[in-house]
Structure 1
């Protein structure tokens, strides 16, 4: 089969002919990959940055966001059959640790990540355990289905607190940030303010329904939020950028007793943080990783099935698998939303 492979250390991927994976465990499912989308994690691996050098073992097939068709199931698989259309949870849980046993599989202590710790989905076929597959309603468009994993991040973040009637500040209008705009609207937010320096992404946020957009490089974010909220501050911060300045500006822009929900992954550790401001304001801090398994997937499925969410504005490029290099170059330019690779028909 054809696969996009990180063949050796260094920048880039290569298109290779590799063996089709086979079912090895009784709960395994073989899936024909239809569409796969490029994630920020894939971009890190493509660049071969410091994180990738420490985490990725070559050669490896990368990618983890996809929609596919079941072609074969192991003898213990009960909920799927050939022909079913599925998407997959990236976090592969062990099923036996404390977290898995107490409803927190998404933060499994022994978790593997698809396309990071094992071969991923930038290939014509992939084999994964049944536990991570989510059967889809056939009415959900395939392109929308292929980005349900990052949509789940937006949903997990934006539904961590009650947004009904709230003023919501979203810092960072990358693909997940702009998905969160729609999720916040569906969840009842009264006003949505987006902070984003990129003109391309500002326009995308506007198309997705943001009420106000602020460029933090040209305007004082805290002052502008205060003007829009009668000097009260935003009720909820959804931090999607992974930028320390955005995080601290967001904390300062919150009302006393507000909620800061943090999804962004930061480039440095430790991160400079306005802890005293958060303490004296009585800010509630929620840290988000992944998607709840499978509460978030159920919400995503129903909102897509009933057309409460429309992801057409966030999917900006659809390319054949062979043009993957072009896709990564476009994504690296930050002038795109989600980029989908068509793997199979």
Structure 2
């Protein structure tokens, strides 16, 4: 089968022929239809310090995907051939304390699809049945391909109740914008998102945020005043990983405010603990998706009319992978999707 492979410990990827995996006990072989490019994939493709420490080559990349079930291994009971499926890319041990308690997203032995084991940037991918999410209702394949990052957004946005609340989101990357769409759909009063990218801020406006603020020329405090807010934001969603964003979020929360943090910082962040303590703020880290409560929520939100398709701005065939990765790296994009049923697409948007 054709696969997008990291052949050696160096920058770049190869489109190569590799053996098609065969399903073993409890495993499902999936014919891949679409994949989404994640920031993790960019790290691996560029071979930065994190990738050099974390990745063993050769490796097939990719963990955001949708596909059709092709073959079933012995013992598979619920998944059927022909099912349209996405996959939970965190493969857990099932035996640690958290797994045994039903908190699989906190497994201490998590294996990452496309990071620690061959992934979905290929014509076929293999997953345990427990990691296969069957789409029981009609869904656009492009949207189904980005259920993984959509799940990050849903997990973060719904960690704390947002109905009637004022929500601040720092970081208008694709996950931040999807989180804004979720908060708005779930009944938030004001949804404010900040960034310094005019492209990303305009994309956020298209999904209906109250304010998309360019913090290179305005302040969050000024946005509060313009909206008539007197005490600060109720809920904060930190999606950027930038120290200044976290610091400004803490400074603009109301007393008793709650912050969910998804953004991974590349450097240490100095936190004003005096403000956290005296305002009795709650700060919670978010990683991945709750298995499988978040997945249920994702499907229900889409059934309820939430539309995240505007976030998919670029589409490429699998032979155009270099162009796809360049688009994703440029920042002038939302989600970038690769079509594994066609080598090239005439339109890349």
Q: Could you tell me the TM-score, scaled by structure 1's length?
A: 0.97
Q: 1:182-193 residue pairs with structure 2 within 5 A?
A: 182-193=181-192
Residue 138 (structure 1) shift: 4.7
1:264 corresponds to which residue? 263
1:108 matched to 2:121 = no
Does the 8 Å CA contact 1:23/1:30 hold for their aligned counterparts?
yes
In structure 1, distance between residues paired with 2:242 and 2:224: 18
Q: Provide Cα deviations, 1:102-137, integer angstroms capped at 9, x if missing partner.
A: 121112111100000000000000111011100002
2:224 corresponds to which residue? 225
Does the 8 Å CA contact 1:242/1:265 hold for their aligned counterparts?
yes
Q: Provide Cα deviations, 1:190-243, integer angstroms capped at 9, x if missing partner.
A: 110111110000000000110112111111223433443433111110111111
Residue 9 (structure 1) shift: 1.3
1:19 corresponds to which residue? 19
1:140 corresponds to which residue? 139
In structure 2, distance between residues paired with 1:302 and 1:309: 9
In structure 2, distance between residues paired with 1:6 and 1:77: 31
Q: 1:133-172 residue pairs with structure 2 within 5 A?
A: 133-172=132-171
In structure 2, distance between residues paired with 1:321 and 1:275: 48
1:64 corresponds to which residue? 63
1:283 corresponds to which residue? 281
Q: Could you tell me the TM-score, scaled by structure 2's length?
A: 0.96
In structure 1, distance between residues paired with 2:106 and 2:6: 26
| Stretches of structure 1 lacking an aligned partner (at least 5 in a row) | none
1:340 corresponds to which residue? 337
In structure 1, distance between residues paired with 2:36 and 2:190: 30
Does the 8 Å CA contact 1:32/1:344 hold for their aligned counterparts?
no
Q: Provide Cα deviations, 1:296-345, integer angstroms capped at 9, x if missing partner.
A: 00111122234x21122100011001111111111111000000000126
1:320 corresponds to which residue? 317
In structure 2, distance between residues paired with 1:319 and 1:209: 27
Aligned equivalent of 2:272, options 274, 289, 296: 274
2:33 corresponds to which residue? 34
Q: 1:64-143 residue pairs with structure 2 within 5 A?
A: 64-143=63-142
Does the 8 Å CA contact 1:226/1:232 hold for their aligned counterparts?
no
In structure 1, distance between residues paired with 2:325 and 2:306: 26
Q: Provide Cα deviations, 1:72-109, integer angstroms capped at 9, x if missing partner.
A: 11111111111011100011011111111112111211
Residue 278 (structure 1) shift: 1.2
Aligned equivalent of 1:299, options 292, 297, 300: 297
Q: For residue 235 of structure 1, give the secondary structure of its aligned residue in structure 2.
A: strand
In structure 2, distance between residues paired with 1:5 and 1:226: 51
Residue 172 (structure 1) shift: 0.5
2:46 corresponds to which residue? 47
